Structure 1
């Protein structure tokens, strides 16, 4: 049975966890950090099989999951947990290329989010990131795992998918020239973003900017996955990049993505290391604010699942210049924070379930003619 959505946890509200990692040292460090923050660690496990048993026995709010373990690894453990006792899973991942790929595979199997394992001296690195780790654990504990499973099923080509590209374009609508789409997402977002890019009609000729809260070292691999899944040409953004129709850029982890120029249907971007906005970098608000300032063609925004309020100020700016704003609905969002805050601004034109996002984007862009 899938656990029902819990009330949003914040502050010092109690959260329970199971910690799965084959390193006793890492387990000890993680447990110390979580328990110091008031998170109840019910059980620990050194491999996937024991981790699955711990989840079935303890029924925690959240699981932290290592991926590379002997015997039953983290990928199989996530898959079986989602089949036997669906529970929000936070992957603890190395940022190396193979670690990044395994992380995205775990999210396809139903993991909600991931947290980058520090390099170098583990205890020092992780202690320095204590506040971020605790915040992420609480965020994932609050996730609606049934929505995450639906997104994962769609990414695997299952029955939870939405309208195909052919279905979307068969409506006979004609998107205006030189449209731009900005996608903003956080917790639970990667599989949803992948679904949107895989369905977005290439005939619409969008210039696409993706701002997904994700650390440096993962966004390049994320862009490659999107490129493989989509008819659009997708790459990680570099400072000074220019794109035209049919191109997409993914904001690089730990850098804000600004629209620095626009003309002739092509836009130019800049990367900055300015202070985090809404406690994140890249921030959706930064990209949306600069897009609203500089793009004079059709501009559409999709705010997807994620914790927090990033994007809310930006959608106001986009709406003020006549752009269109779409938000993912609560039922299909793993975490309804970002879409809800955007909706509360009054700037959102349409609220769509996961399987209608692309149709909503195309329709909203068409209406800007």
Structure 2
């Protein structure tokens, strides 16, 4: 049984969310209309999960997440409307320690939430399983210092990254610490709605030495560049001329019920990308990335996985490790150093 606290400044939305969760077998043990009440509710009820509105009067969702993670670390699912401001504040909440987010259909107050009831129940159930005991405080740096490679690889390396729930801060940590001088071509598959992947790419571009952008329908990624798979489309590398990797997006059927799927990108990358080739599997629920990692290993690539005990959701790295092809298991803070060491030795 999962116990939840519902936080939203709209009484109508609190009632609607609570009804959806109750119908899905989740016990709503309390609710709150703002961040201050949310902190008190978490302390009083000790829930398994919190659904948190982003924008609220007084103490907003971001500050509430920070305070809860400092005093009573609890898995939190942000409920966000899609606007540029809403997307940016959602990513700030993830950096503060929230596990994942769910897009409010129709805006802040909407009767259409019931149409997505199963999706919301699933999201809350997944987030409730997250281990947030190792989440750093908001004041602690989540990004490692930039590592300077001892030498530039003769071939620009390719880095393929897979992540899902709990992954955005981990992806940010790795990309923000990859030095431009490594000349890496980076392809990221982060399970995320299409309305948010462009904002995620823009946010990463503002803090990374690499040029980061959302993948186009067809394009190339070259040295010191990174692309984020567009939500709702698979990302397929097509050809590697030794400098640039050409790719395209497809609307083929979801794999593991997700699109984009890391297995699709990893398998295609294994077939066309030149070495040095590194695959990295980070936090997320399910098996995505495991089969793709086997293809990368067969192609001579190196496979790294996030330490499952450090991941918010251990499923993806754990199942990848179980394939037996993983070359190293590391906390995210050490992942960039390992990547640099691997490609420098090629």
TM-score (norm 2): 0.95
**Is 1:187 matched with 2:165?**
yes
> 1:319 Cα shift?
0.6
Q: 2:28 aligns with which of 20, 24, 41?
A: 41
> 1:177 Cα shift?
1.2
- Residues 113-122 or 177-186, more deviating: 113-122
Aligned to 2:3: 16
**Is 1:104 matched with 2:83?**
no
SS in 2 for 1:224: helix
Structure 2 portions without partners, runs of 5+: none
Give runs of aligned pairs for residues 133-152 of structure 1, distance below 5 A.
133-147=120-134, 149-150=135-136
Cα pair 2:142 2:173 within 8 Å, conserved: no
Cα pair 2:158 2:274 within 8 Å, conserved: no
SS in 2 for 1:56: helix
Cα pair 2:142 2:169 within 8 Å, conserved: no
SS in 1 for 2:309: coil
Give runs of aligned pairs for residues 219-298 of structure 1, distance below 5 A.
219-298=197-276
Aligned to 1:348: 326
Cα pair 1:176 1:365 within 8 Å, conserved: no
Q: 1:310 aligns with which of 259, 275, 288?
A: 288
Cα pair 1:181 1:302 within 8 Å, conserved: yes
Distance 1:205 1:128 in 2: 46
Distance 1:144 1:173 in 2: 38
Aligned to 2:69: 82
> 1:82 Cα shift?
1.4
Aligned to 1:9: none
* Aligned residue pair count: 345
Aligned to 2:44: 57
* Change over 3 Å in CA distance of 1:201–1:50 after alignment to 2: same
Aligned to 1:5: none
> 1:16 Cα shift?
0.7
> Which portions of structure 1, spanning 4 or more consecutive aligned residues, are displaced by more than 6 angstroms?
none
* Change over 3 Å in CA distance of 1:366–1:131 after alignment to 2: farther
Cα pair 1:324 1:365 within 8 Å, conserved: no
Q: 1:169 aligns with which of 144, 148, 164?
A: 148
Deviations 1:48-104 (A, max 9, x none): 221221111101010000011122211121121112211111000111111000101
Q: CA RMSD in A?
A: 1.7
**Is 1:27 matched with 2:6?**
no
Structure 1 portions without partners, runs of 5+: 1-13
Aligned to 2:311: 333
Aligned to 1:299: 277
Distance 1:160 1:68 in 2: 24
Distance 2:151 2:315 in 1: 32
TM-score (norm 1): 0.89
> 1:365 Cα shift?
2.8
SS in 2 for 1:81: helix
> 1:281 Cα shift?
1.1
SS in 2 for 1:118: coil
Cα pair 2:143 2:176 within 8 Å, conserved: no
Cα pair 1:184 1:303 within 8 Å, conserved: yes
